């Protein structure tokens, strides 16, 4: 499967017109952010829930770039940009971090942010959910904690390579992350998207709001420990019954990921098992050949355009 790598026209204008609001939660004000695009022609009625990679800052240039690309794709034609609610990129709260690290289930984090999601989702007619890496682990727990009323609004769920999604990484996660950093640098330097290249090179927090909650070293260790455990499937088992049966749930698997064994046989077997357990769910698999976990670095449009490819059924319900 291949995805285009061209930024859309008008992207810099949209980035210049986005406004971000710190959202209060028990994880701290700013652990979640609401982004609104003043350049949008009208209210879309759609909310995007976006879970980014670990310890990311949505106000940094790279974060704003990802959010803008996602909103553009989720908004469709007509220049209507939906609002984007970013989910926490760390467990933050010590009690939550400790429990998630102990079990590998992100349900305690989902429970902590559920009141915020409920409050904001109430005001929208349609909800699109995307999660990348750490955010991909957060998404199932977030959905599982939704009220039936808000879960019924889900129109698409996309999850990109959540660590340990079907096998435990354990101690291997540390060298795997180190190798992915190397891939990240390569993708960034080779990117043809100059705006994205600038956002990912040098001080990535320049122009970012540095007052947002940040993870302590101990919390980072616990976040890593949580990602090293295989709680993803159990959390997804809790989430899928909440998702409307006609809503596609697409798992993206970059073939050369260091954080999962994404060989074709392994990932197809995994999704087939999920499909057998949840025969009413519209489960799909999108395999990205020749790419690693950090392909999104320098190419923010890839994850955004995953929305456009959700209609391709690779596996699951026919």
For residue range 150-168, what is the model confidence (pLDDT) as tens digits?
999 999 999 999 999 988 8
Does 117 map to a domain? yes
User: Whole domain around residue 18: which residue ranges?
Assistant: 11-309
Q: pTM to 2 decimals?
A: 0.92
Q: What's the whole-number mean pLDDT along residues 32-56?
A: 87
Does 318 map to a domain? no
pLDDT in tens, 252-269: 998 988 989 989 999 999
Q: What's the whole-number mean pLDDT along residues 48-54?
A: 96
pLDDT band for 312, please (50, 70, 90 cuts). Answer: very low
pLDDT band for 175, please (50, 70, 90 cuts). Answer: confident
Does 115 map to a domain? yes
Higher pLDDT: 149 or 190? It is 149
Does 236 map to a domain? yes
Decide if pLDDT at 78 tops 70.
no
What is the average pLDDT score of the chain?
88
What is the number of domains present in the chain?
1
pLDDT at site 307: 60
CA distances from 153 to 70, 129, 156 (A): 18, 11, 9
pLDDT band for 52, please (50, 70, 90 cuts). Answer: very high
pLDDT in tens, 279-310: 999 999 988 888 888 887 777 767 666 665 54
Does 56 map to a domain? yes
pLDDT band for 3, please (50, 70, 90 cuts). Answer: very low
Does 6 map to a domain? no
Decide if pLDDT at 244 tops 70.
yes
Q: What's the whole-number mean pLDDT along residues 203-232?
A: 93
Decide if pLDDT at 90 tops 60.
yes
pLDDT at site 201: 80
pLDDT band for 182, please (50, 70, 90 cuts). Answer: confident
Decide if pLDDT at 42 tops 80.
no
pLDDT band for 39, please (50, 70, 90 cuts). Answer: low
Decide if pLDDT at 45 tops 70.
yes
Does 267 map to a domain? yes
Higher pLDDT: 298 or 243? It is 243
Decide if pLDDT at 318 tops 50.
no
Higher pLDDT: 195 or 54? It is 54
Does 3 map to a domain? no
Give the CATH number, domain containing residue 189: 3.40.50.1820
State percent of the chain over pLDDT 70. 90
């Amino acid at each position: 499967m291949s995805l285009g790598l061209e930024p859309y026209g008008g992207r810099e204008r949209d980035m210049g017109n986005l406004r971000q609001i710190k959202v209060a939660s028990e994880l701290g004000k700013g652990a979640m952010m609401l982004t609104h695009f003043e350049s949008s022609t009208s209210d879309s009625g759609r909310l995007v829930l976006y879970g980014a990679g670990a310890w990311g800052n949505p106000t940094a240039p790279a974060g704003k770039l990802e959010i803008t690309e996602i909103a553009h794709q989720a908004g469709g034609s007509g220049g209507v940009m939906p609002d984007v609610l970013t989910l926490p990129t760390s467990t933050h709260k010590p009690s939550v971090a400790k429990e998630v690290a102990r079990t590998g289930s992100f349900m305690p984090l989902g429970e902590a942010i559920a009141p915020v999601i409920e409050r904001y989702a109430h005001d929208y007619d349609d909800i699109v959910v995307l999660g990348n890496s750490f955010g991909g682990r957060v998404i199932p727990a977030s959905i599982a904690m939704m009220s039936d009323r808000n879960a019924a609004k889900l129109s698409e769920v996309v999850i990109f390579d959540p660590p340990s999604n079907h096998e435990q990484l354990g101690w291997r996660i540390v060298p795997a992350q180190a190798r992915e950093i190397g891939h990240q640098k390569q993708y960034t330097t080779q990117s043809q998207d100059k705006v994205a290249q600038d956002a990912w090179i040098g001080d990535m927090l320049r122009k970012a709001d540095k007052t947002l909650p940040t993870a302590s070293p101990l919390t980072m260790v616990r976040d890593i420990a949580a990602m090293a455990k295989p709680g993803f499937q159990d959390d997804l088992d809790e989430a899928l019954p909440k998702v409307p049966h006609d809503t596609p749930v697409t798992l993206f698997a970059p073939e050369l990921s260091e954080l999962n064994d994404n060989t074709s046989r392994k990932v197809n077997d995994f999704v087939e098992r999920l499909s057998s357990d949840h025969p009413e769910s519209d489960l799909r698999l999108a395999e990205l050949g020749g790419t690693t976990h950090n392909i999104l670095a320098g190419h923010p449009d890839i994850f955004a355009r995953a929305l456009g490819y959700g209609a391709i059924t690779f596996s699951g319900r026919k």
